[in-house]
Amino acid sequence: MTNQFGAPGLGISRREFVAATGGIGTAALAGCTAPDGGEDVTNTTGTTATNTAQQSSLPTTSPPEVVDATEQGNKVTLKSVPAVHEPHPLETMGGPVELPRVWAFATEDGDPSVPGPIIRTVEGEDIEVVLDNTDGRRPHTVHFHGSQTTWENDGVPTSTGIKVPAGEKHTYQIPANVPGTHLYHCHYQTQRHIDMGMYGIFRVDPEGYEPADKEYFMTVKDWDSRLNRMMAGEDANYSPRTRDPDVFTINGKVAPRTLHPEHGSPLIVEQGDTVRVHYVNAGYTSHPLHIHNHRFERVAKDGGVIPEAARHEMDVTNVAPAERHTIEFEANADPGIYLMHCHKVNHVMNGNFYPGGMLTGVVYKEAMDTDIFGKLMEFAGYDA
């Protein structure tokens, strides 16, 4: 069990969370109803998590871990693990929502996750990334955005001639020469392998980096679950030419699971905090990300720092595929719970149920002992 609560990054500890909530847990979820205004209809995004778990020996994904490469000799091993992925495992708010087969990245000793591990290093601390495909069933590669590498380390088999077949390993030399927040992903049969979950964040802290009071990483992704169901052997047909997304995730989860303090990605803040959020879009369509009741500035994009003269207050930033936006804001609102969501509102749904999908919240620590927060934790499936 992690000691870090909230989205991956620099949040609050489990002890702080329990103290703020008064140890609130979930009541029995049987008969739990949707929030007022919800349209509760049959969800068609896949079979239930329970049935799949009974029928499969595959592991279930965990939340992405932050891997500090500098703490392990600037060497990171990644492998691909077939797994079951549960964006929301419960029968609340349009759930369950499941992707019955993903190819999840995992570190050598870590659990598989979608997104993959957040690889973090410091400017000038070049890293070795070993892609261990010895237990794999198909070729893979790893391509890093935001790193100016040698030709042979670009991770693209079409132009380098290098792929990592099943049963083999390959080591990439990745310079940490472009500070900022970046994306890595498999670049073999890219149109399929990213949609099977093979992506993650590569973070290079600049020299002299000063962290904010709260710092979080958030990867958004749109999915056509027909691919995942087809690869699991279900009766589904998929072509990238007719891709039609029906699942919309933040750090691999959909609302209300996104609000779960351990498995989801709430932005937990305290009054007066400076909050820094690194957005990454690993999907195939743009997502205008909106935060309620706060004004933020976009301070970096794709590894480039935005000059102060070009910054302005805003409450929506439109993140295109593969783009990375870093925003900063002050937690200066009336302490409460405020939504963060894609403003393509059909992306904020689980099947035909609203709200769901690509939605989480800015949660003030001061509001965690309220009845409405307790109700949200019930829907998310949190039990202290």
- The domains located in the chain, with CATH, are 48-210 (2.60.40.420)
What was the pLDDT predicted at 323?
A: 98
Rounded to whole angstroms, the Cα distance separating 357 from 258 reads 9
Q: To which H or E segment does residue 20 belong?
A: helix 14-21
Nearest to 290 by CA among 325, 245, 263: 325
Q: Could you tell me which residues are beta bridge partners of residue 88? A: 97
Q: Which sign, positive or negative, has the C-alpha torsion 193, 65, 129, 203?
A: positive
Residue 291 amino acid letter: I
* Residue-level pLDDT, tens digit, the chain, 384 residues: 456 677 677 676 666 666 667 666 433 333 333 444 444 333 434 444 444 444 469 999 999 999 999 999 999 999 999 999 999 999 999 999 999 999 999 999 999 999 999 999 999 999 999 999 999 999 999 999 999 999 999 999 999 999 999 999 999 999 999 999 999 999 999 999 999 999 999 999 999 999 999 999 999 999 999 999 999 999 999 999 999 999 999 999 999 999 999 999 999 999 999 999 999 999 999 999 999 999 999 999 999 999 999 999 999 999 999 999 999 999 999 999 999 999 999 999 999 999 999 999 999 999 999 999 999 999 999 986
Torsion of CA 356, 284, 126, 251, to 10 degrees: 10
Is 131 in contact with 164 (CB distance < 8 Å)?
Answer: yes
What pLDDT, on the 0 to 100 scale, is given for residue 24? 62
Radius of gyration (C-alpha) of the chain in whole angstroms = 20
Q: How far apart are alpha carbons 211 and 6 in whole angstroms?
A: 17
User: CA–CA distance from 308 to each of 240, 311, 312, 323 (Å)?
Assistant: 41, 5, 8, 20
How high is the pLDDT of residue 383?
A: 82
Residues listed for the chain: 384
Written as one letter, the residue type at 355 is P
Residue pair 130/171 in contact by the 8 Å Cβ criterion? yes
Sorted by sequence, the CB contacts under 8 Å of residue 54 that are 6+ apart come out as: none
> Which amino acid belongs to residue 73?
G
Alpha-carbon span 346 to 356, nearest angstrom = 9
User: Can you name the residues that pair with 324 across neighbouring β-strands?
Assistant: 280
d(CA 317, CA 225): 26
Q: What is the pLDDT of residue 18?
A: 67
Residue 190, C-beta contacts closer than 8 angstroms, at least 6 positions apart: none
> How distant, in Å, are the alpha carbons of 43, 78, 128, 184 from that of 123?
45, 21, 14, 17
C-alpha distance across the termini of the chain, in Å: 12
Predicted local distance difference test score (pLDDT) of residue 23: 63
Cβ pair 11, 216 in contact under 8 A: yes
Kindly list the strands in the beta sheet with 180-185, ordered across the sheet, starting from the edge strand earlier in the chain: 66-68, 118-122, 199-205, 180-185, 143-144
Q: Which two tokens stand for residue 93?
A: 């708010």
Give the other-Cβ count within 10 Å of 125's Cβ.
13
pLDDT digits (tens, 9 = 90+) for 15-31: 666 666 766 643 333 33
